[in-house]
Amino acid sequence: MKTAHLLAGFIAFLIVADQFLIFRLKRAPEPRARLRTYQLITAGEWLAALWAATIMGPQALWSVALATSASRWLPQRWIVAVMAIVSVLAVLTPLMVARRRTTAAVIARGLDRMRFMLPQTPTERLWWGILSLTAGICEECIFRSFLFWYFQNSPWHLSLVTAVCVACLIFAMGHLYQGLLAAFATGVLALLLFVLFLGSGNLLLPIALHAIADLRVLFLLPRAQRPELAEN
């Protein structure tokens, strides 16, 4: 269990380090800094995910089997499938309506808040795609599977609901650079991802939804970009 404690500490380090990297990028948003931030975050998350797979084993990391008494609060499989479909449609809705001028303006204002971190060159767009897939795969392994398992085992022995809530809180803390409201929304999203994970029994649905949510930025940018963003 010592290695699990070490990984938990490394995850805490990654959260703090990511906040520092993104804060520094916000102060000096230039291409080299963006690429370096993408690459460092990608490397750190893959290291943590592979470490988790070594501790738990790939099968245990990928899937979860709950006792009947512990899973009573979860929706049935068909409801989980419906939730997944609705969630994907909700994530893709901005892409469907982005052609409207008024909608594109709203999207542009929303993206402006994260403008310093968004990709602006072909190389940055490539690395953003890599980073998005990394977040979808690795963050689900780390924050959904490993932390859930970690907090339910010694010395914590947290209940299912408490372990889920603590993991969601930690995930939200990793997004504080977006602001308190956005971090809270991320925590709510983490709860949905947990329902998909625990309800389906594996990470496929949360990984897919997470990756799609991050990748959509690549498709929103060309339509919502303002002239001054395209010139950089």
> Does the residue 21 lie in any domain?
yes
- What CA–CA distance (Å, rounded) separates 110 from 127? 21
Predicted local distance difference test score (pLDDT) of residue 113: 77
> Does the residue 63 lie in any domain?
no
Predicted local distance difference test score (pLDDT) of residue 192: 95
> Does the residue 52 lie in any domain?
yes
Find the domain containing 28 and state its range. Answer: 2-58+68-231
Q: Say how many domains are in the chain.
A: 1
> Does the residue 155 lie in any domain?
yes
Predicted local distance difference test score (pLDDT) of residue 21: 93
Predicted local distance difference test score (pLDDT) of residue 230: 42
Task: Read off the pTM.
Answer: 0.88
What angle (nearest 5°) sits at the alpha carbon of residue 20, between those of residues 16 and 21?
Answer: 115
- What CA–CA distance (Å, rounded) separates 15 from 147? 14
Predicted local distance difference test score (pLDDT) of residue 127: 96
> Does the residue 145 lie in any domain?
yes
> Does the residue 32 lie in any domain?
yes
- What CA–CA distance (Å, rounded) separates 14 from 48? 9
Instruction: Give pLDDT tens digits along the chain (232 positions).
Output: 899 999 999 999 999 999 999 999 988 888 899 999 999 999 999 999 999 999 999 999 999 988 766 667 788 888 999 999 999 998 888 777 766 665 666 666 667 778 889 998 999 999 999 999 999 999 999 999 999 999 999 899 999 999 999 999 999 999 998 889 989 999 999 999 999 999 999 999 999 999 999 998 888 876 444 434 444 4
CB 7, CB 48: distance < 8 Å: yes
